Structure 1
Amino acid sequence: MKITVLGPWGAYPKAGEATAGYLLEHEDEKILIDCGSGVLAQLQKHIQLSEVTAVIISHTHFDHIADLGCLQYACLIDTDLGNRTSILPIYMADESNNNQYKAMSGTEIRRIAVGEALSINELQFSFFQTFHGVYCLAVKLEFANRTFVYTADTFYDDSLVQFCANADVVIAETSFYKSFEAKKYGHMNTTDVGTLALKANIGKVYLTHLPHFGEQASLADEVGEIYPGPIALAYCGMEIVME
């Protein structure tokens, strides 16, 4: 299984790059997790849009969904051209089931919520409601005795530890340096991420949802002041292989 970082930025993309987006590939499955600004341009460096088999959307803030409507247009066009022969399911975190996004030809919006499970062939997904300004779900994938977690957007809370416990890989939002109070923004700083990684006994942590200010390389150093395990700073095109 391979996870490709399509966009590591929070709020808005760095020039030529993208906000939140991650491509998970396993055998014939090509699953897009979040679809932020610039993600479709990055995605097409790796696969054709017609190859995407499912989409999971953690929440409806623009830096996580800005390209979703364009992806739906692509599916409509590919369906009419005969390039897409099956409907693309878009699993969207939605507490109320009144989401503004509607299905188009070639796509179908499907609601996901905390406490529900999602199976895509052999891949088993579960969800955790995070602590953010809108309804937001962290995503856990368990497969072949391996565990991957994407925290999505959240401030730190001890209840996150159990959801991430003993995960082999966690992609953790790291929106602020340790000197910033992140909780009031619904995000984590490097101290929060280090604490989560340590308490949850994470195998390796990848830092994402990065700030546009300061020296981003120091984010890993600050997380490392608390967590002694492997730390990596996410970047566009980074590949994470889970064997």
Structure 2
Amino acid sequence: MRLTVLGGCGAWPEAGQACSGYLVEHEGFRLLVDVGYATVPRLLEQVSQDEVDAVFVSHGHPDHCADLNPLLRSRALRDDPPGPLPLYAPSGALDAVLALDRPGMLDAAYVLHEFTAGSHLDIGPFRAETRLLPHWVPNAGVRLTVDDRVLAYTGDSGPSAEVVALARDADLLLAEATFVDEVPEDSRRYLSSARQVGRQAEDAGVGELLLTHLQPGTDPATARAAARDGYQGKVGVALSGLVIDLS
């Protein structure tokens, strides 16, 4: 299993970066996990639009799904369009982004598989276990398993025992860490800090922690240091172009 970070900014993309988007590959199957602002240009530096086999979206906020529109346009608006792209998302999460174009314009470009968080899915070679994690809108954390390798991804989530359960003994935890230390009071149920994520990674016994969704302007070294306060393993930050091989 190989993870390529297309972007990891929270809320909006910094110069030269992109919001949440991750290409997960195994034996030629390419799964795009989230497709936030500015991720498609970076995706197309790695593979063609035709080579994406499926898309999983954690939740409906635009920094996680807005670039689904240009991805579908790039497949649909051509003389030789590929087959429909399977999309997996919580019920209603993609309603807004799929309504950006005139009715019917992109219908042939995708097939939508909506699910309720807590469902188990088979996506190509990946066994996907989803969990409802606390956010302002329904957010599906996902645990991807293939050949005894496990990647856990939180989407956006406040601190929760469900995060620890999702990540239990995972090889890699890709975790939202919008803030370094203190989370503003109005967001404490719905977003996390690097320090909190480090403690949860330690509790879950994960092999490696990758921080993502950092607030623009956050110093990555400061976020890593905060996470290391509670976690003894390797800590990285999701920046565009980073590749991690879990095989």
TM-score, length basis structure 2 = 0.91
- Aligned counterparts of 1:189 and 1:236: Cα–Cα separation in 2: 20
- Aligned counterparts of 1:117 and 1:205: Cα–Cα separation in 2: 23
| Structure 1 residue 158 corresponds to structure 2 residue 158 | no
1:135-190 per-residue CA deviation (whole Å, 9 max, x = no partner) reads 11001111111111011000001232112111110101110011334743611002
Name 2:33's counterpart in structure 1.
33
> How is 1:231-242 mapped onto 2 (pairs within 5 angstroms)?
231-242=235-246
Name 2:103's counterpart in structure 1.
none
- Aligned counterparts of 1:221 and 1:98: Cα–Cα separation in 2: 35
| Counterparts in 2 of 1:97 and 1:227: CA distance versus 1, 3 Å | closer
- Aligned counterparts of 2:88 and 2:51: Cα–Cα separation in 1: 17
Question: Could you tell me whether the CA contact under 8 Å between 1:117 and 1:127 is conserved in 2?
Answer: yes
- Aligned counterparts of 2:217 and 2:189: Cα–Cα separation in 1: 16
Report percent identity of matched pairs.
29
Name 1:224's counterpart in structure 2.
228
> How is 1:109-188 mapped onto 2 (pairs within 5 angstroms)?
109-181=112-184, 183-184=187-188, 186-188=190-192
Q: Which amino acid aligns with 1:99?
A: D
Name 1:212's counterpart in structure 2.
216
2:80 to 61, 79, 82: 82
- Aligned counterparts of 1:16 and 1:159: Cα–Cα separation in 2: 33
| Structure 1 residue 99 corresponds to structure 2 residue 91 | no
- Aligned counterparts of 2:40 and 2:26: Cα–Cα separation in 1: 20
Cα deviation, residue 128, structure 1: 0.5
Question: Could you tell me whether the CA contact under 8 Å between 1:17 and 1:42 is conserved in 2?
Answer: no
Cα deviation, residue 121, structure 1: 3.1
Secondary structure of the residue aligned to 2:191 is coil
- Aligned counterparts of 2:50 and 2:213: Cα–Cα separation in 1: 27
| Counterparts in 2 of 1:121 and 1:63: CA distance versus 1, 3 Å | closer
| Counterparts in 2 of 1:99 and 1:67: CA distance versus 1, 3 Å | same
RMSD: 1.8
Question: Could you tell me whether the CA contact under 8 Å between 1:75 and 1:105 is conserved in 2?
Answer: no
Question: Could you tell me whether the CA contact under 8 Å between 2:119 and 2:131 is conserved in 1?
Answer: no
- Aligned counterparts of 1:36 and 1:152: Cα–Cα separation in 2: 11
Which structure 1 segments of 5+ residues have no match? none
1:199 to 191, 203, 210: 203
- Aligned counterparts of 1:204 and 1:108: Cα–Cα separation in 2: 34
Secondary structure of the residue aligned to 1:105 is helix
| Counterparts in 2 of 1:129 and 1:170: CA distance versus 1, 3 Å | same
Question: Could you tell me whether the CA contact under 8 Å between 2:178 and 2:212 is conserved in 1?
Answer: yes
Deviates more, 1:127-136 or 1:157-166: 157-166
